Amino acid sequence: MLGLDRRIGLLFGGFVLVFAVALLRASYIQVVRGSALSEQAANQQLAEIPVPARRGAIVDRNGHTLAVSQESKTIYLTPYQLNSDGKQVEVLARILDQDPSQILDAISAGTPGYAAIAHEVDLRTAKRIEALDYEGVGSTPDSHRYYLQGALASQVLGIVNGEDQGVAGLEASYDDQLAGSAGEVEVTNDAIGRTVKRNVLTEATTGARLKLTIDSDIQQRAEEVLAGIGATYLPTGASAIVMDARNSEVLAMASWSPEASADGSEGDSWESMQNLATSSIYEPGSTFKSFTVAAAMQEGLVTPETSFNLAPSIVVGDRTIEESHARESATLTTADILRTSSNVGAVTIGLMLGSDGVTFDKWVRRFGFGTATGVELPGEETGLVIAPEDYSGSTMGNLPIGQGLAVTPLQMARGYAAIANGGILRRPQLVLRDASGRVAADDGKRVISRQTSSEMAKMLEGVFEEGGTAAGVTVPGYTLAGKTGTAQKVVNGVYSETEYVASFIGFAPANDPRIVVSVVVDDPSVGSYYGGTVAAPAFGELVGFTLPYLGVRSG
């Protein structure tokens, strides 16, 4: 047996060895791995958590809320404190209506101390998660975008994505103002994941409030009228614009597509979210004749009473232009040409501006065609206007009757507003107030004289009289002015005999215009395809609703 002293010595040596190993281990941890472990501990105990800003509300001109962000929660967790058997992840996924893999992906993308696993969680669901009392699971303030009027004006308002960023419509073009500024909170957790301290690093600020020119009631009526057109004529699309003739404020801007559901609400497809008033281009057809006549009048070439002896057709270059309805040779005044929508008459007047097209082109561009209107929406189309040097021998047989160029419905509404308001072309306006305060109305520029404007309005009244192309449309108590359009669509490079765009653009009351109304219907496939029967009655419905609603007296 070992002696007592030797056993004590061995025991002491063992203690020294263990102490030496421990000392070496401690030195290794402190000196070699100290920095990394310290950082890991800090990551586990400290987390800087973003606090999303609440987007500003969007309201109509009367203060009715169209879009608002309501309080919600972001659910986060401390990954290293998760139960290793995965049951906690399964429970969280079930409550959040997610697949467990989504949570695991969020954890992988996060840090050891913080991983956001769900955003925009409603408060009721957040309370269910908080009631679980899982270690390391918490929540921070968030917000969710709600459109309180459902799909009303959805193509104008646009949408936001999962990061609460505007990606279409006014939500996109005013994203910087609506978004506000995100904040940040530093959270300190103890060793078992309980929050022991919250320090606000940066306060979140709510975005600006946007007040629109849109009137919800007029917008609702416009969408109902388009839904009726969609159900009756089964077109590929339709748009309606109601604009204040005096200052070009847009009171309604509606789009309809076949993707709309049976109850008139819009789906979430990209097609149903397209704003056809600004993103679709079409050949305007006869509605463009008003600009041809206005240009010739302003140049002093014609008056409303100027008389023309017109053959049944006219040849320009290699093209023969005929009337939409055959007739014998006739004597028509300028007013008659607009009232009956004479193709031969409009081409004849157009040629008076010069066969080279230089003067005609000047007037086309003066009325704003070929350039964007500047309305506060992203992705606005400019249309298509060819330069005079690119004209062919027959071009001046096309352009005066609205063929061979492409426009947007909003460009046409703006042009008719200039005819209606005394001759001033203005930028259409959708926003009344933004972050900077009241948005100033566009002063515009004069394109025709007051006299020409007044004479054009009087001639366009004739469209609703006997023999006019919209003679069946009336609004009791109010005088109407406007123009029908039935334009052949270009299909595979040639004008189709079966596909048309039916439209009507006009204003009322004719003697003191208050509103401009545009209705454009793309390819009505059932029943009539004429502007006078498809679009003009819709114009009448919108005028009949809007003028009394605005308090415009009849008579």
pLDDT in tens, 364-396: 999 999 999 999 999 999 999 999 999 999 999
In-domain check, residue 86: no
From the list 154, 286, 453, 518, the catalytic residue is 286
Q: Are residues 159 and 272 in the same domain?
A: no
Residue written as tokens 């309501």?
A: 70
Q: pLDDT confidence of 324, banded at 50, 70, 90?
A: confident
Considering the domain boundaries, does residue 18 fall inside one? no
Taking the CA atoms of residue 411, residue 413, residue 414 and residue 420 in that order, the dihedral angle to the nearest 10 degrees is 150
Domain boundary among the residues 181, 211, 241 is at 211
Q: Are residues 351 and 295 in the same domain?
A: yes
299 within a domain of the structure (yes/no): yes
The answer to whether position 242 is within a domain reads yes
CATH number at residue 207: 3.90.1310.10
Q: How far apart are CA 509 and CA 215, in angstroms?
A: 19
Which segment, 2-16, 98-112, 402-416, is predicted with the most confidence on average?
A: 402-416
Number of domains into which the chain is organized = 2
- Asked if 351 and 466 sit in the same domain, the reply is yes
Q: Are residues 221 and 276 in the same domain?
A: yes
220 shares a domain with 205: no
The answer to whether residue 40 sits within a structural domain is no
Collapsing DSSP to helix, strand or coil, 373 comes out as coil
Tokens of 1: 């047996």
| Boundary (domain end) residue, out of 166, 192, 211 | 211
Across the range 523-551, mean pLDDT stands at: 97
Q: Is 191 inside a domain boundary?
A: yes
Sign of CA dihedral 89, 94, 96, 102: positive
Residue with tokens 């509606």: 254
- What are the two backbone dihedrals, phi and then psi, of residue 449, each rounded to the nearest 5 degrees? -75, 165
The 10s digit of each residue's pLDDT in 106-147 is 888 877 778 888 888 999 999 999 899 888 888 888 888 999
Domain CATH number, residue 305: 3.40.710.10
Distances (CA, A) of 298 to 304, 305, 352: 12, 14, 12
**239 among known catalytic residues:** no
CA distance 266 to 258: 9
Q: Which residue has the higher pLDDT, 32 or 280?
A: 280
Model pLDDT, residue 3: 60
In a domain, 12, yes or no: no
My answer on whether 177 and 254 are in the same domain is: no
Lowest mean pLDDT among 157-166, 210-219, 285-294: 157-166
Whether residue 351 is contained in a domain is answered as yes
pLDDT digits (tens, 9 = 90+) for 334-354: 999 999 999 999 999 999 999
The residue range of the domain holding 329 is 216-549
> Residue 197, CB half-sphere, CA atoms under 13 Å: how many?
10
Summary count for the chain: helices (H), strands (E): 19, 21
Are 276 and 364 in a shared domain?
yes
CA dist 52 to 158, 209, 315, 327, Å?
A: 20, 17, 66, 68
Q: Which residue, 168, 186, 211, sits at the end of a domain?
A: 211
The DSSP letter of residue 281 is -
Task: Tell me what pLDDT residue 264 has.
Answer: 40
> Are 187 and 290 in the same domain?
no
Whether 183 and 225 map to the same domain: the answer is no
| Integer Cα distance of 224 and 504 in angstroms | 17
List, for residues 40-97, the tens digit of each pLDDT value.
444 556 667 777 788 999 999 999 999 999 888 889 888 877 776 788 889 999 999 9
pLDDT for the residue numbered 14: 59
